[in-house]
Amino acid sequence: MSRPNRNVLTVILAGGQGERLSIFSEKRAKPAVPFAGKYRIIDFALSNCVNSGLFDILVLTQYRPLSLHDHIGNGKPWDLDRLHGGVRMVSPYLGRKDSDWYKGTADAVYQNINELEETDAEYVLILGGDHIYKMDYRPMLQLHREKGAEATVGVMRVPIEEAHRFGIVAANEEGRVIEFQEKPKQPKSNLVSMGIYIFNKKHLIEKLTKDAQDSSSKHDFGHSILPEMLASGDKLYAYTFEGYWRDVGTVHSYWEANMELLQEPPELDLYERSWVVYTRSEERPSAIIEANANVKDSLISHGCQVHGQVINSVLSPGVIVEEGAIVRDSIIMIDSVIGKGSVIDKTVIDKEVIIGEGSIIGYGNDNTPNKFEPHKLNTGITIIGKRAQLPANVRIGRNCKIGTDVKPEDFPSLELGSAETVIAAVQTTRK
C-alpha cells in the first residue's frame, strides 16, 4: 500500500439499486454483488484507493445497504480501520420514503456536505462503487493540480455502439472539456465519462449548494453539475485512462467481465503483486479437485469441492460440483451445490442455490428474450436467484429467470422452455 495522501477526501457512491442486474441486486446493493469468485464489486474501488495512498474514504449507501455494511465493516481488510481518516459508511438519515432518498449523485454528496466542510482535504475524489478496474488515481490528481482545474473528469474510449450508455465528453488539444452530453441516444464520440471526478473542495461545495436550490435540476453530476460548470466557464479538464475498465451494470456485461478473467492472458490481472485487490474473506479450507474431476480455464475459490467437470467458469467460495455434473461458461456464487449429473451452461447462479440431480440448465439454441425482462435477459444467459432449490431432472432453456427462494413445488413442470420465469409462491424477507 502507498504512502497516505491526506489532502484528498474520497467519496464512493454505492447506493444504486442496479435494476438492470435483475435478481442479483434485488436484495443487495449492486456494489455488494460477488465478482471473480471471492470478491465484491466495490472491492476494486476500495483497493484502488488504498493502493493510491488514499485512506480517507466516505462510502454513501442507500438501497439494501446491509450486505455492503457487513462486507466493509470497519475497513480492516483494506487497512482502513484508522483513527484519522479510514472508511465511514453513511446512509440517508431517513430513507423511509422515496422522497427521503438521494435524488441523484450530486444530491447524495450534498446531503453529506457537512463531511466535506469538516475535512481539511483540499480535493474531493468522487467514484462509483460499481465498476471493475485497477487505476492509480495519483496521475489524475497530478494533472488536476498542474492544470489549475476546478474539476477533472476521468474518461476513456469505448466501442461506439456502447457509448450511448455513458456521458460523452469532448475536449480540446489541451484536454479542457468543451462539451458534455449525458447518455445521448446518438453519441457524437466514443470518449466517455468513467464516473470518476476530482473537484476542488470549496468549488464543489459552492456548486452543490447552488444545485440544491434549483428545483428543476436532476441533482446529478452528469446531468446537472458538469453542464452547469461548462456553461459558467469553469476550468473543467479530462484525464484519459487507457487501462481495463468495465461497467458491469447489466447481466450480460457482468457475465462477460467474469468470462474475460479466464482469457490468457486476462485483460485484468488479479495476480499482480504490486496492485493487490483486497477483500473481506471468510476462513475456509483449500479447494479440493477430486481425482476424476476435470477443471479447465476456470477460477476455483477456496472451500470449493469439484467432483465433476468445470469448464470456462467462475466458482465462488464453498461451491460443490457433484459427480458427473458439468459446469460450462457459468458463474456459480457462494455455497451453491450442483447436483449429480447436472449440466449448467451459460448460467449465473446466486449464493446458496441447490440444483437437483440430473438437471439441465441453459439448454438449446432458442434465444428468445425473457417474457418479463426482455431488456435484461436477451443474450442466452439464464439466471437463478439466492437460495433457490431446483427439483431433480428439471430442464430449463435460455434467457430464463428462476427467482429468489424458489422451491421445487413452485415449478409448473420439469420442462421450462426459453424465456420463461419462475418465482417463489411465498416470498421471504431474508437478506
- Virtual CA dihedral for 79, 82, 85, 91, nearest 10 degrees? 80
Is the pLDDT at 18 greater than 90, yes or no?
no
- The whole-angstrom separation of Cα 156 and Cα 143 is 16
pLDDT of residue 201: 97
Regarding beta strands 167-171 and 236-240, do their DSSP bridges make them parallel or antiparallel, or are they unpaired?
unpaired
Nearest to 31 by CA among 70, 1, 5: 70
- Virtual CA dihedral for 198, 74, 34, 248, nearest 10 degrees? -10
Long-range contacts of 303-310 (CB under 8 A, 24+ apart): 308/338, 308/340
Q: 92 or 152: which carries more pLDDT confidence?
A: 152
pLDDT of residue 123: 98
Name residue, grid cell 483540499: 122
User: Which residues, at least 6 apart from 429, have a Cβ–Cβ distance to it below 8 Å?
Assistant: none
Cβ contact 91:61 at 8 Å: yes
- The whole-angstrom separation of Cα 292 and Cα 294 is 7
pLDDT of residue 2: 65
pLDDT of residue 98: 46
Q: Tell me the whole-structure pTM to 2 decimals.
A: 0.94
- The whole-angstrom separation of Cα 17 and Cα 64 is 8
What is residue 155's three-state secondary structure?
Answer: strand
**Residues of 135-154 as b/e, b for ≥16 C-beta within 10 angstroms?**
bebeebbebbeebebbbbbb
Cβ contact 139:152 at 8 Å: no
- Whether residue 412 is preceded by a cis peptide bond, meaning omega within 30 degrees of 0, is no
Nearest to 18 by CA among 67, 71, 77, 86: 67
- For residue 3, what pLDDT band results from cuts at 50, 70 and 90? low
10 Å Cβ neighbour count for 350? 26
- The whole-angstrom separation of Cα 382 and Cα 329 is 11
Percent of all residues in the chain with a pLDDT value above 70, rounded to a whole number: 95
- For residue 99, what pLDDT band results from cuts at 50, 70 and 90? very low
Phi–psi pair at 47, nearest 5 degrees: -70, -40
